[in-house]
Amino acid sequence: MTPGLKPLIQISVLLALLVSPAVCQIRQSPSLDCHILEISPTNRSATITCSATHLPTGKTRLQFVDQFAGVDQLSDRVHALKISTSTNVPLPLELRGNGLVFFTANSGSATIRYEMRLARAFDPAQHALVSSIGPDAAVLMMADLLPRICSEAESCETPNPTTLKLSAPNDWQIATTERQRSGVYELADNSKAVFFLARFRERTANVGNMNLRIAVAGQWNFRDEDIFPLAEAIAREQAAMIASREQGEFLVLLTPFPQPLTGLRSSAVTLGRTVVLLLNPNNDSIQTLKHFRRHLAHEMFHFYLPNAFRIRENFDWFWEGFTRYVALMTLARLNLLTLDEYLDAINGEYEAYLFNPQRGQLSLIQASPDKFSSPASYDLVYRKGMLVAALYDLELRWQSRSKRTLADAIKALYANAEREIGNREVLGELGKLGDFSRLIRDDIEGTREIDLAERVKPYGLKIEQSPATRNRARLMAASKLNERQKALLSSLARF
């Protein structure tokens, strides 16, 4: 998943500075030189010191993130916060709760020191969303480890210019997309900077102008040779699908959860150009590998959607729901999925949709902005979102006689990625490739009930529940198919 990212720079403020340089005294914004040290895999904690300079005259506001992508009370992990002058004289702090602190440093600089305790247990699905330190690896995200500082009157929306030093535990390596000069990282945007510390195996691949680095920690019940070529193949396929223009460093991490879990589970996030994927296998290595493939293909498409776009508003129904479907398309194009598996995945989303109590009340567009407010909204965005992506793709293949797919709509959006996009642009692009006014009105903007069997009948598909399907409802190809239907279904996946 990718959490709803809001543009952090206030464009209006920036414009005001640009149009009136003569009257605006541009003050240097506060900057941070931080050092993460004493990273303890046993205590699952780290000590952080930052020297802050160019502090405002008067009160300084210091803000630790407290909430991220539906995870609350993150600032509770900050312990023993001390702020002192550069000559080590403690400064009085006003602690306002939820990670908000005020202090006054008359010299314009201060030293901030605190301990981050990261042992708190989360819902397994949430583990990848926040920094963690486990026995085998640490995933350090600057967005939740470092504070933001600004003047009292501001709200610290803009990341501070930050440099970072890391003292990794003995014989742990470091992987990141951040630039390093003589052991010091210069963070372009600390809301996206991620550092992976572990004893990992790695491989690099050039995909067009993208330098992809894949780092794997932990022992798995499948081979490393099932991981490295897979990540590279997904990167190539998706770059081709979208006509990628991306360049520079990209990183994919696979690592165990920081604490023991039972059952097959994964949790992942894509921050900027880093995919963090935590996996907990079960005893079935084939099932584990299939699960991993689906999740990896989903996460890696977030390099593009939404991370390569300028986002105006939340349209998670598209960037999550449609990305879920693109993962399926990617694996099918790589011959890693049969048509049966493809159709089973679509039917799985349909069954989840039928169980969703909000399906008649909330449209995809309405459910998106507050997907974290209720499990039903969240589920609708992902599951109905993917179902509608499948219906769109099938209909587009049908109308175009298999000459076009959903990938063409996303490619067209990406071709214009320099403009800001929101629902209007996405719906405009989806509507351009054929006659989709009903699908957009009923399935995306509206709440009209979807009858899958009825919708897929023209394409030569049916839902069958019989002893032959072990009495489970399955989406499958009809026994008699005309040429156009055959062409459509064989364009989807291995028949």
Is 276 within 8 Å of 128 (Cβ atoms)? Answer: yes
1 near Zn ion (CB under 5 A): yes
Nearer to Zn ion, 294 or 397 (CB): 294
In whole angstroms, how close is the CB of 20 to Zn ion at the nearest point? 41
In whole angstroms, how close is the CB of 244 to Zn ion at the nearest point? 18
In whole angstroms, how close is the CB of 182 to Zn ion at the nearest point? 36
166 near Zn ion (CB under 5 A): no
Nearer to Zn ion, 316 or 395 (CB): 316
Number of residues that bind Zn ion (CB under 5 A): 2
In whole angstroms, how close is the CB of 426 to Zn ion at the nearest point? 16
In whole angstroms, how close is the CB of 381 to Zn ion at the nearest point? 10
Report the alpha-carbon distance of residue 286 to residue 295 in Å, rounded: 14
Nearer to Zn ion, 320 or 395 (CB): 320
Q: Which amino acid is located at 121 in the chain?
A: A
Q: Which of 420, 426, 321, 412 is nearest to 367 (CA)?
A: 321
Q: Which of 2, 121, 90, 40 is nearest to 368 (CA)?
A: 2
Residue with tokens 């009136």: 20
Q: Tokens for 305?
A: 């959607």
Is 136 within 8 Å of 199 (Cβ atoms)? Answer: yes
In whole angstroms, how close is the CB of 1 to Zn ion at the nearest point? 3
In whole angstroms, how close is the CB of 267 to Zn ion at the nearest point? 11
Nearer to Zn ion, 172 or 315 (CB): 315
List alpha helices for 356-481, DSSP H.
364-367, 375-379, 385-399, 406-415, 423-432, 437-438, 452-456
- What strand order describes the sheet that includes 179-181? 78-84, 110-117, 45-53, 31-40, 162-166, 184-187, 179-181
**Cα three-residue angle 204-166-143, rounded to 5 degrees:** 85
In whole angstroms, how close is the CB of 15 to Zn ion at the nearest point? 32
Nearer to Zn ion, 60 or 266 (CB): 266
Nearer to Zn ion, 178 or 320 (CB): 320
Report the alpha-carbon distance of residue 171 to residue 176 in Å, rounded: 17
Residue with tokens 């449609």: 322
Q: Using CB under 5 A, which of the segments 1-9, 12-20, 126-134, 141-149 binds Zn ion?
A: 1-9
Site for Zn ion in 307-346 (CB under 5 A): 320
In whole angstroms, how close is the CB of 355 to Zn ion at the nearest point? 21
Nearer to Zn ion, 197 or 300 (CB): 300
In whole angstroms, how close is the CB of 309 to Zn ion at the nearest point? 14
Nearer to Zn ion, 384 or 455 (CB): 384
- H-run or E-run covering 328: helix 323-333
Taken as a whole, the chain contains a residue count of 495
Nearer to Zn ion, 270 or 447 (CB): 270
* CA 60 to each of CA 9, 78, 104, 464: distance values in angstroms, whole numbers, following the listed order: 19, 18, 6, 65
Site for Zn ion in 31-60 (CB under 5 A): none
3-state SS assignment for residue 410: helix
Report the alpha-carbon distance of residue 471 to residue 467 in Å, rounded: 5
Site for Zn ion in 13-32 (CB under 5 A): none
With CB atoms as reference, the residue minimizing the distance to Zn ion is 1
276 near Zn ion (CB under 5 A): no
Report the alpha-carbon distance of residue 9 to residue 117 in Å, rounded: 30
Nearer to Zn ion, 50 or 278 (CB): 278
Is 176 within 8 Å of 185 (Cβ atoms)? Answer: yes
Nearer to Zn ion, 1 or 231 (CB): 1
**Preceding peptide of 159 cis, ω within 30°:** no
Residue with tokens 């210019």: 161
In whole angstroms, how close is the CB of 113 to Zn ion at the nearest point? 36
DSSP letter at 71 equals B
State the residues that interact with Zn ion by CB under 5 A. 1, 320
